[in-house]
């Protein structure tokens, strides 16, 4: 019997392929990525030096660190956190990117996630690199195992295959798709597995939409998500790659835990109610229409890319954000910011009343302009648990950039009308 994409990629990393789902192996990531965050990177750097006596890395090129959180208050605490990171990265010769945008996006832009690569991070949203046929796995504090030993033990995951057909209707995108999938399979429908996407519908999706979809894999319980390579993703990778790469396809007779076909043309806009992304909280926009909102946010590692900003501009062109709503837009990286500026997208959004903020993670986790008690926010962020974006007494709804933009105009949850 054949192998899935995940089995093939992980098999390469053991030095003794093949590997099968269910086996436990030490796997050697191509890259071991982190963003600086108190209690994580600062502690891990200190542990490497003091507990393990590591003063020199065997292969520094496998380590990458981003400074993408806590950039917007310009205070002493921020400065201290980042100085610690700069010092350690200089000490070890680790590649560091500061204030260039959200690391999960920069990983793609910098050619760190090319087809067939295996990447680990402590943050699970690294799964977004699956758009490029790279396997990204959020291993939490086990990142220290990878940093110290160069490898990490994992259970080789089973795979659920999603065959996508059709194309998104107007006003529908990957956020609607991911929440449709959660409703289809459940909040643990792909638990401990990898989601594998292919088919003509997958090939019709823009790279940005693939990133947004893969980045949300954890909400089905999946450890990662990955697309079959095609001309679109391979062309992107070829433009940014630092090395030769080898795309990975599944075998025709690969063994899957489950297989689903989804027709993208049948999807409708979705909104997730506050609390979590679980099935019971997933609604259609039609069911939630009229719910008042005070805040709207387009950004995060699952959105805020050029396709997302184009969608928002399509809805907001010539319109005005409701006076009762604050709409904040965060392009995912400086590169995306510049492209959106060049295309005139940001002017459209500004003219409608949106505020454009610097590319960072800070809105998504409630660091920048946190929600106040009793506020209702509609967001393209990754998480709507209580307290995620500020006060535990505020409510976070999640939807696509089309839906967030349309809702910002009316001041209530609304579907896009054009």
Partner 1 sequence: MSAYPPPPDVIAGRVAWIFGDDFDIDLVVGVANIKSYDPEHLRSVCMSAYDPGFADRVRPGDVIVGGRNFGYGHPHYPPMVALRNAGVAAIVAESFSPGFWRGETFNGMPLITIEGITDAVSVHDEITLDWRSATLRTADGTQIVGNPPNPRTVAIIEAGGSYELLLAEHAPAHA
Is 78 or 188 the residue whose CB approaches partner 1 more closely?
A: 188
Question: Which residue's CB is nearer to partner 1, number 53 or number 323?
Answer: 53
- Give residue for tokens 């980042």: 82
Query: Binding marks (x or -) toward partner 1, 389..408, rule CB under 8 A?
Result: ---x----------------
Binding of partner 1 by 38 (CB under 8 A): no
Name which of residues 200 to 239 contact partner 1 (CB under 8 A): 218, 221-223
Rounded Cα–Cα distance for residues 56 and 115 (Å): 29
266 is a contact residue toward partner 1 (CB under 8 A): no
Least distance to partner 1, CB of residue 196, Å: 17
Query: Is residue 46 within the footprint of partner 1 (CB under 8 A)?
Result: no
**Sheet with 282-284, edge to edge strand ranges:** 282-284, 270-272, 395-398, 376-379, 295-298, 326-329, 355-356
Token pair 């990393």 is at which residue? 13
Interface pick for partner 1 out of 29, 116, 124, 381 (rule CB under 8 A): 124
Q: Does 24 bind partner 1 (CB under 8 A)?
A: yes
372 binds partner 1 (CB under 8 A): no
Residue 210 has φ and ψ, to the nearest 5°, of -65, -40
The secondary structure of 289-320 as a DSSP string is TT-B-SEEEE-STTS-SHHHHHHHHHHHTT--
Could you say whether residue 258 binds partner 1 (CB under 8 A)? no
Q: Is 155 in the site for partner 1 (CB under 8 A)?
A: yes
Backbone angles phi, psi at 123, to 5 degrees: -95, 130
Residues for the chain: how many in total? 418
Least CB distance to partner 1 at residue 132 (A): 22
Which listed residue (200, 265, 385, 418) binds partner 1 by CB under 8 A?
385
Number of residues that bind partner 1 (CB under 8 A): 33
* Burial state string for 343-357 with b = 16 or more CB within 10 A and e = fewer than 16: eebbebbeebbbebb
For residue 49, the tally of other CB atoms under 10 A from its CB is 14
Q: Please list the residues that pair with 81 across neighbouring strands.
A: none
CA angle 228, 232, 234 (to 5 degrees): 70
Considering only 32, 264, 272, 383, the residue that binds partner 1 (CB under 8 A) is: 383
Applying CB under 8 A, which part among 80-88, 100-108, 144-152, 241-249 lies near partner 1?
Answer: 144-152
Query: Interface residues with partner 1 (CB under 8 A)?
Result: 24, 47, 51-53, 124, 138-142, 144-145, 148-149, 153, 155, 187-188, 191-192, 218, 221-223, 276, 278, 383, 385-388, 392
């Amino acid at each position: 019997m054949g192998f899935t994409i995940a089995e093939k990629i992980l098999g390469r990393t053991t030095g003794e392929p093949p590997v099968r789902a269910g086996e436990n192996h030490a796997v050697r990531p191509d890259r071991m990525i982190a963003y600086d965050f108190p209690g994580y990177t600062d502690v891990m750097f200190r542990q490497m030096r003091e507990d393990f006596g590591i003063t020199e890395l065997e292969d520094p090129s496998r380590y990458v660190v981003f400074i993408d959180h806590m950039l917007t208050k310009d205070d002493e605490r921020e400065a201290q956190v980042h100085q610690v990171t700069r010092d350690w990265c200089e000490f070890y010769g680790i590649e560091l990117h500061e204030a260039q945008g959200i690391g999960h996006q920069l990983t793609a832009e910098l050619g760190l996630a090319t087809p067939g690569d295996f990447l680990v991070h402590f943050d699970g949203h690294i799964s977004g690199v699956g758009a490029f046929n790279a396997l990204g796995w959020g291993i939490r504090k086990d990142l220290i195992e990878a940093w110290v030993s160069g490898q990490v033990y994992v259970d080789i995951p089973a795979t659920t295959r999603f065959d996508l057909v059709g194309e998104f209707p107007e006003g529908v995108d990957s956020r609607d798709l991911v929440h449709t999938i959660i409703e289809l399979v459940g909040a643990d429908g792909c638990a401990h597995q990898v989601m594998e996407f292919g088919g003509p519908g997958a090939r019709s999706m823009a790279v940005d939409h693939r990133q947004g979809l893969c980045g949300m894999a954890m909400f089905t319980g999946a450890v990662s998500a990955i697309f079959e390579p095609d001309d679109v993703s391979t062309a992107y990778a070829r433009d940014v790659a630092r090395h030769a790469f080898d795309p990975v396809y599944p075998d025709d007779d690969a063994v899957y835990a489950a297989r689903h076909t989804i027709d993208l043309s049948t999807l409708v806009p979705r909104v997730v109610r506050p609390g979590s992304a679980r099935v019971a909280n997933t609604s259609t926009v039609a069911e939630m229409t009229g719910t008042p909102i005070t805040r709207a946010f387009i950004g995060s590692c699952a959105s805020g890319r050029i396709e997302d900003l184009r969608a928002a501009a399509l809805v907001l062109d010539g319109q005005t954000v409701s006076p009762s709503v604050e709409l904040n837009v965060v392009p995912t990286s400086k590169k995306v910011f510049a492209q959106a500026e060049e295309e005139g997208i940001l002017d459209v959004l500004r003219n409608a009343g949106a505020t454009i903020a610097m590319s960072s993670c800070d809105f998504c986790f409630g660091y920048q302009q946190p929600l106040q008690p009793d506020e209702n926010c509609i967001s393209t962020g990754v998480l709507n648990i209580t307290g995620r974006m500020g006060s535990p007494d505020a409510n976070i709804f999640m939807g696509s950039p089309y839906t967030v933009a349309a809702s910002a105009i009316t001041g209530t949850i609304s579907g896009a009308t054009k």
